[in-house]
Amino acid sequence: MTQAAQVFGGFPDEHRDFLAAIAEDTTWEAVSARAEQHRRAIHEPMSLLVAELEPEFGPAKVFNLHRSPSLWVEQWAYASVTDTIAFGVSLSLAGLWVEGGWLRSSSDQVARYRKGVDPAFESIVAGLRAEGFELLGERLKRADSELLAYRSLVAGRSLGTGAWLATRQPVERVRAEWRRLRPLVGWLAEHVGPRDGRD
């Protein structure tokens, strides 16, 4: 059966074995020795999860296991809306994390963002905060308001861990969270857009 024909069935419990082992031994040798376990328990299930969300949110990039230590203890996937504006999901020992927003910036994006911030955007951000989302991103040391200080801006929150990770629940929980994040991501896509020359 090809991956396209497979359906997400949960993250096998052994995903925690991999993540716990790597937390104890952070050498590339330890990581590469467990590459097959990572593929089977983490990378492949994450690929299947975002594939089920693709009809609604578009294709996602699932990061491969390579020599970047930050990617050993977390498995990230991003569905880009335009350039650096995307929906994201990650798996770690802490469980699933979901986010959406403006991941990295250029000076032209920052200029458009600062010009675009309006009451509608402030309302979107306030609503997400009221639902328990954290606001993250690079910030200027000085600005006329809290929101104008951001040079990149992501709203995210943890969905935690538990036996539900080994079921189909992650698909619908991530779908629901990305839908909550859609007004923010949509506003950023419209008002900030891609970096110059990246559209």
Per-residue pLDDT of 98-155, as tens digits, reads 999 999 999 999 999 999 999 999 999 999 999 999 999 999 888 889 999 999 999 9
Domains and CATH numbers, the chain: 3-191 (3.30.930)
pLDDT tens string 27-43: 889 999 999 999 999 99
- CA dist 72 and 26 (Å) reads 8
Over residues 49-63, the mean pLDDT reads 97
Both tokens of residue 125?
């951000």
Global pTM?
A: 0.92
Give the model's confidence band at 6: pLDDT under 50 very low, under 70 low, under 90 confident, else very high: confident
